[in-house]
Structure 1
Amino acid sequence: MVHYTTIVKASLDKVWQHLILKIEKPGNFVPGVSDVHILEKKEDFVTRKMTITSEGNATTLIEKITFEPYKVRFLLLEHPKFEGYVDNDIKAISNDETEMTFTINWKDKTSQAEFNNQELVKNAVLKTKKYIEEN
């Protein structure tokens, strides 16, 4: 498990609205995203298919996304290499500051080794922070 936390200069409500937007428009928040398709949309979850390109390699994945204030969970349903989930958690620090933590809890399907790319999670958090603060 790898995680990264930062403070976003925005209200809890604004950050939450952006995390909900991230479900259908992940390209604004996650580096390398393309070809996003919502496969199913219910009151309490969304199933999404998308492609992520990193270091020249494209990976298509399907996720079941659940959300309740103030946590969004991205559960991998289909991924060629990993299984597990990503959590996006937020909590208010003040009226105009919110603590945001992304936790990646993925394991390699074959070796069961834990995913351990700190730089990837940091970049995702910082891209999300920048987008929220600028929009």
Structure 2
Amino acid sequence: MSTNIDININVDELHRRILENKRKVTDYVKRLSDIYDKINNETDLPDRSEKVIIDIPNSIPIIIYKEPSKEAYRELFSKALQFLKLEYAIYETLEGRLGKLKGHEFKAIVRYFGDVPSLVVIELDSTKK
């Protein structure tokens, strides 16, 4: 993951990007759900498979399955949904807060982690430069 910075971005444009990314996350969850349903209905796939768990302190455990199984896919989708819920919560919060600032010509500085905003600083001085 890389860190990018937007300097002097209009809050209205940032709000538009937030709404677009929130919609992408929702679409991604729908596609994951469709794939999960297909895998659950797959008759050739075993229910369980042997797994190895690597438990790293202060981190998410790494689970390695020796062969594909419904259990392996269920675990994979569960982890993906956890991260997507976190990303969605970030967008939901930003949408609410930035929505109140739209239309006032405010500028912001945004730091991203990957493509998810991790820090937003609003310039409240509305004087034009």
Higher helix proportion (structure 1 or 2): 2
- Pairwise same-fold verdict (TM > 0.5): no
TM-score normalised by length of structure 1: 0.29
Higher strand proportion (structure 1 or 2): 1
TM-score normalised by length of structure 2: 0.30
